[in-house]
Every structure is written in structure tokens, then in C-alpha cells.
């Protein structure tokens, strides 16, 4: 062996020994050609003389849920040997050699010779157990918080109903008997309690988006929008709005939630219109070649507009840019829209110019036909 070749081989060996990532190379039959110390540490078992059909059981590979055994076909190294590439696949591993199970993130690539033939596969992997634990903790505390909000909102409804009905009775009974100031106090108490009822109902609706949603099915968005426009008939006539609806595709989702989403957006366009200009609303889709499984809808208006510094804040629950006397509302509409879109795996954002108008964009999964 030439000195140069020897040197580069020992350099490669020391690199493979020192890296924290596990690296394994196998030939096309599954025979291990390289198995670095980190791989041995992370797998809890060293290189074995075994066939790929035995690997899942022998090494204890499971899917990310930690319970479903990974079939041979889905093992990253097996896929690499068959010519596929795998990036960032999360796998759980547990076997007699490991005190505790580990989550690994795995990459795999076929081993291709100079003439283009597949001679085996390479995998590299890292321990992501800590990251996975943090994600699980965050999901648990989110779920706890959500449940707390839902239970609190539900349990507050009953006593509040009592307060509202007794305040109403008090208002009726004391009509014309109280001095002006006392009558105003009672009136303010009634409207405060009623507003609280609206807020609590909204909070409950918000907390139920994820927990009480319907399974996804084909949704004809053209019909959904038509339905919403029929519902808003009175408001639309009153605002003399001109509404253009483009050709809308079918999506995959929860029809009732998507209807709620469109209703909120069109309602806002009507509510936040300019008083001195006829309202125009346009609903359509834009195409994206980057994400062919998603479609971007837009809801454009020529209303009062929003300043860029508020583009994100308006989606936060109970955040409003105006006083109740200027525009009625609770500030939950867009937070509900965001939750609905996120439940569908999409995102929602706004582009706007103050005094010119706003366009709300949202992505939804296309129904593949
Ligand atoms: P609400 O309508 O009850 O105030 P939303 O969550 O629907 O609550 O909206 C939050 C805020 O975003 C509104 O108070 C308003 O300032 C702004 N906004 C929403 N839609 C529009 C729109 N189409 N044009 C201008 N401003 C809007």
C-alpha cells in the first residue's frame, strides 16, 4: 500500500472513530463494511453477521411512536441498499444492549460505484432523545392548558347565565324607579355580563377546534363560499359590496370549520370597510409549483387596511386594533381562522396597506383526484 493511501485510510479511520454520529456502511447483501464506535454506542449492539430481515428484531427498531415495530422495508439502511434516499427519519431503538430506549434521526443514501451501480448503502444517525422529550413535554403542557381553558370556559357559562338573567330581571323591575345614575350602573352591569358571555362562548369555540373537529373529507370550496355569501346576504346588501369569486378547487378538510373560516374573513372585510368607497371583495387561488399538494386561497378587500407592525399581532387571541365603539368584536375571529388553517396543515398571513386594503392568504391541502 502506498504511503499516501495508508495515510488517507488512517485519517478516515480516525475521523470515523471521533465523530459523534453513528455511521454504518453495508454492501448490497447487507454485510456490514463499516460500523463506527458511535454506531455501536447508539445501537447498544456492535456489527453482527445477520441478514436485513433480522435487523428490526435484533436491534429493536420502532417507528417514531415508540411502539410500532419497523418492518424490514422501512429500515433506512434497507431502503438505501434499494437505491432510495432517506432524510431525517425519526426512529426509536430499544434492545437488551441499551439501558433506556433512544430516539434517533437517520439519513440514508445508496452507495453508488463509479459506473453508477448500487453497491450497498450508508446510514448516519444522531441521538435526538432530549429534543424528542422536550417536544413531548411542550405538547403535554399545551394539551393541559387547552383542557384548562376549555373546562374553565364551560364551567363559567352556568353561573354567568344566572348573573345575566338576574341582572335582566333587576333591570326590568327597577325600570323608571331608579335615579339616572343607578339605572346606568345596572345597565352597564348587564352589558358587561353579556359581553363576558360572548367572550366565553368564543373561547370555548376556540378551544374546541382541535378537540371537537370532524374527520377530513372532500370539500367543495365553491359551494362553501356560496353558502357563506347566502348567510351574509343582509350584511352584503347593506354594505353594497361587489364580490368576485374565482374558480375555487376542492380541498381536503373539515367542511364546517372551513365554512367558519371563510365566514370570518368575509365578515371582517365587510366590517373593516371604508365608509367613503364602495366595498370590493375578491376571493381566488394562486398556484404554486413549489408545493403542488397545497393551494393558496386569497381574500382581498379595499378596506381600511392594517399597518405592517400589526400583521402578526392580529392573529393573537383577543388582540384588536380598535375600540368596541368603533368596530364591534371580541378579537378572536382571526385566532380561530389560524387554528383552523393549522389543523389542516396550512398557514395564514396578511399583506396590507393602510387606507388601501388587505389580502389574507391561507394554504389548504388540495383534494387529489
Ligand atoms: P375582531 O374582528 O373581533 O376584532 P379578529 O380576530 O377577526 O377580531 O380581527 C382582529 C383585528 O384585525 C381586528 O380588530 C382588525 O383590527 C384587524 N382586521 C381583521 N380583518 C381585517 C380587514 N379585513 N381589514 C382591516 N383590518 C382587519
Return the SS3 of 71: coil
d(CA 145, CA 140): 9
| 40: confidence class by pLDDT, cuts 50, 70, 90 | very high
Q: Which residues on neighbouring strands pair with residue 365, listed in sequence order?
A: 294
Ligand 1 atom nearest residue 301's Cα: 23
Q: Which residues on neighbouring strands pair with residue 282, listed in sequence order?
A: 244, 300
What is the separation, in whole angstroms, between the first and last Cα of the chain?
Answer: 60
Give residue-wise pLDDT tens across range 196-228: 888 888 888 888 888 888 999 999 999 999 999
Residue to mutate, 260, 272, 308, ligand 1, most ligand atoms under 8 Å from C-beta: 272
Q: Whose CA is nearest to atom 20 of ligand 1?
A: 268
Q: Which residues on neighbouring strands pair with residue 86, listed in sequence order?
A: 108
Q: What is the pTM of this model?
A: 0.68
Task: HSE, CB side, 13 Å, CA atoms: give it for residue 283.
Answer: 23
Q: Ligand 1 centre from 272 Cα, in Å?
A: 7
Q: Is the distance from the beta carbon of residue 303 to the nearest atom of ligand 1 less than 6 Å? A: yes
d(CA 124, CA 105): 8
| 2: confidence class by pLDDT, cuts 50, 70, 90 | low
Output the pLDDT for position 3.
Answer: 64
d(CA 74, CA 82): 11
List strand residue ranges (DSSP E) for 168-269, in order: 217-220, 242-245, 250-253
Are the C-beta atoms of 204 and 140 separated by less than 8 Å?
no
Give residue-wise pLDDT tens across range 87-138: 999 999 999 999 899 999 999 999 999 999 999 999 999 999 999 999 999 8
User: Is 178's pLDDT higher than 80?
Assistant: yes
Instruction: For CA atoms 197, 198, 204, 207, give the dihedral sign.
Output: negative
Q: Is the distance from the beta carbon of residue 268 to the nearest atom of ligand 1 less than 6 Å? A: yes
**Residue reference for cell 436485513:** 52
Return the SS3 of 365: strand
Ligand 1 atom nearest residue 330's Cα: 3
**What's the mean pLDDT when you consider all of the chain?**
91
Residue to mutate, 334, 355, 362, ligand 1, most ligand atoms under 8 Å from C-beta: 334
Amino acid at each position: 500500500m502506498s504511503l499516501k493511501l495508508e495515510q488517507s485510510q488512517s485519517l478516515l479511520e480516525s475521523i470515523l472513530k471521533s465523530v459523534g454520529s453513528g455511521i454504518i456502511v453495508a454492501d448490497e447483501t447487507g454485510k456490514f463494511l463499516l460500523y463506527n464506535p458511535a454506531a455501536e454506542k447508539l445501537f447498544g449492539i456492535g456489527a453482527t453477521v445477520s441478514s436485513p430481515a433480522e435487523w428490526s428484531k435484533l436491534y429493536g427498531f420502532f417507528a417514531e411512536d415508540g411502539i410500532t415495530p419497523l418492518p424490514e422495508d422501512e429500515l433506512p439502511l434497507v431502503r438505501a441498499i434499494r437505491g432510495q434516499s432517506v432524510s431525517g427519519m425519526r426512529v426509536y431503538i430499544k434492545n437488551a444492549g441499551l439501558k433506556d430506549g433512544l430516539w434517533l434521526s437517520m439519513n440514508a443514501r445508496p452507495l453508488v460505484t463509479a459506473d453508477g451501480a448500487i453497491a450497498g448503502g450508508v446510514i448516519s444517525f444522531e441521538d435526538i432523545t432530549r429534543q424528542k422529550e422536550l417536544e413531548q413535554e411542550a405538547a403535554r403542557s399545551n394539551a393541559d392548558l387547552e383542557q384548562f381553558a376549555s373546562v374553565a370556559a364551560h364551567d363559567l357559562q352556568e353561573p354567568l347565565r344566572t348573573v345575566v338573567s338576574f341582572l335582566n330581571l333587576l333591570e326590568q323591575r327597577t325600570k323608571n324607579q331608579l335615579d339616572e345614575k343607578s339605572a346606568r350602573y345596572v345597565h352597564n352591569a348587564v352589558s358587561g355580563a353579556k359581553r363576558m358571555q360572548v367572550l366565553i362562548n368564543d373561547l370555548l369555540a376556540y378551544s374546541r377546534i382541535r378537540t371537537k373537529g370532524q374527520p377530513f373529507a372532500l370539500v367543495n370550496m365553491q359551494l362553501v363560499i356560496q353558502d357563506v355569501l347566502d348567510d351574509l346576504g343582509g350584511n352584503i346588501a347593506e354594505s353594497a359590496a361587489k364580490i368576485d369569486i374565482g374558480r375555487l378547487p376542492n380541498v381536503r378538510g373539515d367542511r364546517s370549520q372551513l365554512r367558519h373560516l371563510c365566514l370570518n374573513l368575509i365578515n371582517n372585510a365587510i366590517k373593516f370597510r371604508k365608509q367613503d368607497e364602495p366595498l370590493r371583495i375578491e376571493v381566488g387561488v394562486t398556484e404554486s409549483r413549489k408545493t403542488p399538494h397545497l393551494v393558496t386561497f386569497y381574500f382581498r378587500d379595499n378596506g381600511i387596511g392594517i399597518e405592517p407592525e400589526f400583521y402578526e399581532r392580529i392573529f393573537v387571541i383577543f388582540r384588536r386594533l380598535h375600540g368596541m365603539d368603533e368596530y364591534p368584536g371580541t378579537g378572536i375571529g382571526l385566532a380561530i381562522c389560524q387554528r383552523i388553517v393549522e389543523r389542516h396543515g396550512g398557514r395564514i398571513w396578511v399583506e396590507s396597506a393602510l387606507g388601501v386594503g388587505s389580502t389574507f392568504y391561507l394554504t389548504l391541502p388540495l383534494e387529489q383526484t
